[in-house]
């Protein structure tokens, strides 16, 4: 499979998603220690006392949930040779929407978070539309 523009943006998106574990993981390590982090959670263990760390965790989970939609669409566009300028732009828009979404989520700015999220969703709809037409 060639390295298309869409695959490039998918790779960056997957890399971003991988990196999102670090902010809240460092908080957990600092609070409970590395050994306990690797062990099973204790009953009643509240993983995040800091609100921003919990939002960082949720931003990561949200990125994973949305990658499950974005990645197959990109792969289907590439496999079916449906790539074009529109799919390239939609893939880039999706990535940048996710980049913007993360700090907005962590900083707890709900209306902007909603906008960034739906820009990413719209990019996925564009990819799906390009596949179906």
Look up residue 64 and give its two tokens.
Answer: 């994973």
Contacts of 77 (CB under 8 A, 6+ apart): 6, 83, 87, 127, 130, 131
Predicted confidence (pLDDT) per residue in 73-110, tens digit: 999 999 999 999 999 999 999 999 999 999 999 999 98
- Of 94, 106, 129, nearest to 52 by C-alpha is 106
* Residue-by-residue DSSP string for 98-127: HHHHHHHHHTT-HHHHHHHHHHHHHHHHHH
- Please report the domains of the chain, with CATH numbers, ordered by start residue: 5-132 (1.20.120.550)
Residue 47 backbone zone (phi > 0: left; psi -120 to 50: alpha; other: beta): alpha
Look up residue 33 and give its two tokens.
Answer: 């220690």
Predicted confidence (pLDDT) per residue in 23-81, tens digit: 988 888 888 777 776 777 666 666 678 899 999 999 999 999 999 999 999 999 999 99
Q: What is the pTM of this model?
A: 0.89
């Amino acid at each position: 499979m060639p390295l298309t523009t869409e695959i490039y943006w998918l790779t960056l998106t997957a890399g971003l998603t991988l990196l999102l574990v670090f902010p809240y993981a460092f908080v957990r390590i600092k609070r409970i220690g590395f050994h306990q982090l690797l062990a099973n959670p204790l009953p009643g263990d509240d993983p995040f006392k800091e609100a921003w760390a919990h939002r960082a965790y949720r931003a990561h989970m949200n990125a994973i949930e949305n990658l499950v939609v974005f990645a197959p669409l990109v792969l289907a566009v590439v496999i079916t040779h449906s790539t074009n300028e529109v799919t390239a732009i939609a893939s880039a828009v999706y990535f940048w929407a996710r980049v913007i979404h993360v700090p907005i989520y962590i900083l707890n700015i709900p209306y902007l978070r909603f906008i960034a999220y739906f820009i990413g969703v719209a990019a996925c709809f564009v990819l799906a539309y390009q596949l179906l037409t």
